[in-house]
Chain A
C-alpha cells in the first residue's frame, strides 16, 4: 500500500492484504550479520479484537511485510512466533496486539539427513538453491571434506556444521558471515569480500536544518559498546593440536592476527603478550588439504564475534538500502567544527539494521549498528596524545 504518496507499507496474511490503514499499526524489521534469520515485530491496533478472533496472530501464521518508498522497498515473508496483548481495554480482548515474527524459513524447513563431500560454498549453494530468495550472495570457500547433516534442518546445518569451518584463501583470514537480510537476500560472505569493494553509500552527519533531512544523513550518532566477553577469550589464544605421532603441538595467536594482510592503519586493540586469555583445540586429522582448511577455518571462524572492535549506532530517516552486511562510507564531524574527523570517518560494516514504521506518529526510521576493525592513522602519534592526556 502506498501511503502519503511516499511510503510503501504493506502487510498481508497468507498472501492476502488486510484492510488496515498504516496509522493503525507499527513494525520493526531487523537483521544482523550474526544471525541467520531476520526478525520483525508487529504491533496492530486491534481495539475490536477482530484480528485475534480470526486467528491472525496464532503461531505459524504467514505474514508478509513490505516497507520502503513507493518505487523502492524491501519485502520479506515471516511467520508468527508469539503474540501478546497490551493495553487491553477494560479486560476485553481489544487493544494493541504485539506479534513477534520470525523469518518464514526458520520454522518451515524440514529436518533432513544427508552426507556431503564437497567444499562448503558448493554445499551451501546446493542447499539454498531449493529456497526462494530475492538474491543469493555467496563467496567461494574451500575446506572440502565430509559433512554430515544428522536429521537437522538446512539452515541449522549451515550455521552449526558448515559456517564454523568456512575457509578461503581469498578471505585473507577474515571470517565468513551467513545471514538472510530484511530483503530476503541470502548472504554467505567473508569480511574481506564485503569491505574490499568501494562503498556505494556515503552517510553524513545531518544538521538541524530541515533541508538537510535525507536518507543518507544521520540524525543521531552514539557509541555502541558490546561486552568484552566477545573479545577477551580471543586476545591471546593457545592453539593446540595432537599430531599423528602423539606429540602435542602448542602454538599461539593474537586477536590482531586476523586478517593476515594489512587492513587499515591502526588496530583498535593492543596485543596482550603477557597473558593467555583463551584456547582452541584443533582436529588432529590434517591428512587432506580439505581437513587442513577445516582447521584453518575453525581458527578464523571462532574470531567471528571478536573481529569488529569498534561500533557506532546511527539513526537516519528510512533508508532501505542500509541492510546488514553492507559496507558504508561514513563522514563524521570532529566535535565543535565542521571539519571531518579523520580518525572516525571511513569505511564501516553494517552489522545490524533496524527499519521502523510507527503508525501513530507517521515515523519511518532506520537505525544501523556499524563497526570497524581498525582506524586510519593520524598525522600525530596517537599514543603520544594519550600520554599528554594522562597525568603522571
Chain B
C-alpha cells in the first residue's frame, strides 16, 4: 500500500522532457522558496487519471495555475489531480458566448452540456439530451453534429478533403476536385450544372454524352461542332433555314430544279 497525502502547488512547467504528460509543480508551502529550491529541481507529477495503457490522454494543467497534488509519505511518488479552486477560472458564460456564436446550435442549457474549453478558447461540447455535439475552434471554424443527425462543417478559410489520390478543396476563389481515380456522379433525380461564367469540359479520352430522353443543345451565341470526322447518326435529322451560296461547303443552296422547278432540297434527312 502506498499512502498518499494531498497538497497544493503551482504549475511551473508542462514541457515534460520524457513526453509522458507530466507537469512540474512547486509544492506550496513545502517547497515555496525559489532560491532554496530551484525550479529545475522541482518534482515532476504524473496525471492521477487517464493513466490507462490503452487510453492516451495529454491534458496537463496550465502553467501558473494552482493545482491539487498528491505525494507519498517519502516524497517519491508524485501525482496531480486538477485545479485547486474552480471559482477563479470556471466560467460558463465564456462557454455560452462561444456556443452563441453558432446560430445553428439548438440547445445551450448548462445542465445538458458536457464541454471542454481548451486554453486557446477552442470548445468541444456534447449535449447529453439531444446528442448535438461539435467542435468550435478559436478561429471561428466549426464542425457540428445536429440532433437530427445532420453534420455542418464551416471553415473561415480553405476547406480540404483529401486522401492519397483525391483532393476536394473549397477555397476563397475556387472549388476543386482533383483525383487520379474515376469520378462518378449519379442521381435518381435531376442533376443541374449552372455557371454564370464559362464552362469547360475537357477530356483527353473518349467523351460520351448520352440520354434516354430528349437532348437539347442550345446557345444564344455561336455553336461550333468540331471533329476529325463528324457523324450525325441514329435517326431523323431536321435542319431549318436556308443556305446562302458561298461557292464552297457541303450544303446546296438551290431550292428547286432550274429546269423542272421540282423541289430540290428538304428539311429532313432520314437514315442518318
Residues of A at the B interface (CB closer than 8 Å) are 112-115, 117, 146-148, 150-151, 160-161, 164-165, 246, 281, 283, 294
Contacts and interface: CB of A to CB of B under 8 A. Distances in A.
Interface of B: 1-2, 27, 29-33, 36-38, 41-43, 53, 73-77
Given A113-B32, A113-B33, A146 B1 contact: no
B74 A114 contact: no
A246 B55 CA distance: 13
Contacts of A113: 30-33, 36-37
Given A113-B36, A151-B30, A161 B77 contact: no
| Main secondary structure on B side of the interface with A | loop
Contact of B37 (A115, A283, A294): A115
Contact of A146 (B29, B43, B73): B43
A113 B36 CA distance: 7
Contact of B76 (A115, A117, A246, A294): A294
20 contacts: A112-B36, A113-B31, A113-B32, A113-B36, A114-B36, A115-B37, A115-B42, A148-B31, A148-B75, A150-B31, A150-B75, A151-B31, A160-B73, A160-B74, A164-B74, A165-B74, A246-B53, A281-B1, A283-B76, A294-B76
Contact of A161 (B33, B36, B37, B75): B75
Contacts of A150: 27, 30-31, 75
B236 to A, nearest CB: 81
B77 A148 contact: no
Contacts of B37: 113-115
Contacts, number: 41
A115 B30 contact: no
A148 B38 CA distance: 12
A294 B53 CA distance: 26
B19 to A, nearest CB: 15
Contacts of B76: 283, 294
Q: Most B CB atoms within 10 A — which of A112, A146, A164, A294? A: A146
A268 B166 CA distance: 81
Contacts of B2: 281
A160 B32 CA distance: 21
Contacts of A117: 41
Given A113-B33, A150-B75, A283-B77, 11 more contacts: A114-B37, A115-B31, A115-B37, A146-B41, A147-B75, A148-B43, A151-B30, A160-B74, A161-B75, A165-B74, A246-B53
A286 to B, nearest CB: 12
Nearest to B29: A151
Nearest to A147: B75
Nearest to B71: A150
Q: Most A CB atoms within 10 A — which of B32, B38, B41, B75? A: B75
A151 B71 CA distance: 14
A118 to B, nearest CB: 12
Contacts of A246: 53
